[in-house]
Structure 1
């Protein structure tokens, strides 16, 4: 095609580097989603209340994370903190940035799920002798999780794809590993085609795993 000759053997030789980069991508995805959930849950509750310091804090977080570019957030963590004398690794910078972004989006996803559940559910849990926390965990959360499940999975896939921005701050995640390999071999098409396939496979693995989990949890 257009006189370009593919040399796939070069990609095969660099496969261990790409696999190592893919593992970094998966690690950051899992950690950033877990951190995002832990941060988003209390902020979603605060946002639902509609007033107070918690509501204002959560609103600022959501506005900042959802209305600024992901690239800007990565740069702020890596170069911005560095300019202030706080030098952190590219891995940590990308993890913090994606966790920050996840928390903002997940806050609104969770808030939407909570809004879909009648408030009488919490009162019913209280009438059974549950504390507010128990009522949330055993009555509200299971219903909310079913409502927002696939939106949550979509956010997880989005977080995985955003790890590719780590390439711009020197992180050897999947895109960074591909960028390095093609820079020393000058075989751009081969490496980026294979890398795109890697991203597709990881994304489909997340989606199919989610469908299986959803079927097991809610097959009734």
Structure 2
């Protein structure tokens, strides 16, 4: 601990994750007494000019940013907000995931990531299947923004899948792809975060067990 405070840093995948982390996750953690900061993962470091931010291309990139952040010894916890959908195949745990239940698969990958980094402050978290699953949990709130027909389609998908975190069926039908298909005017960095914030964290956690389990690690 530093000066009696607990510090947590969130390393996030993209702009949508950054907005939701700042508006929904950060206030909750700070209410628990955590001093919270966040940053986007860097995709490129050109010889001249600023780094490009957002998006994950491979383990080397992820490991580099994690190591750099862990050099800051004032962090008590470094955690992540990365999508499990399209997570790079070369990342630890991806090649030998157990078959069947996606929750077991993600927990396996998270354990392997933690083992590869080998720092007790690192607490990896992958969103099942991607952050837009949280938008599916906020179907009614999104419907208030973009129309009740859209809310109905999201509810149908959630019922068919068995929950918002289980809405995923391939590159053309992952949550973000469905949203754009159902509503071409959907703006992922604006509409989704607004709906999730309007829903609120308590009902969101009730509908997204993996999110709830991650947040409980900060509460316990």
TM-score range, shorter chain: under 0.3
User: Which one has a larger percent helix, Structure 1 or Structure 2?
Assistant: 1
Higher Cα radius of gyration: 1
TM-score (norm 1): 0.25
User: Which one has a larger percent strand, Structure 1 or Structure 2?
Assistant: 2
TM-score (norm 2): 0.25
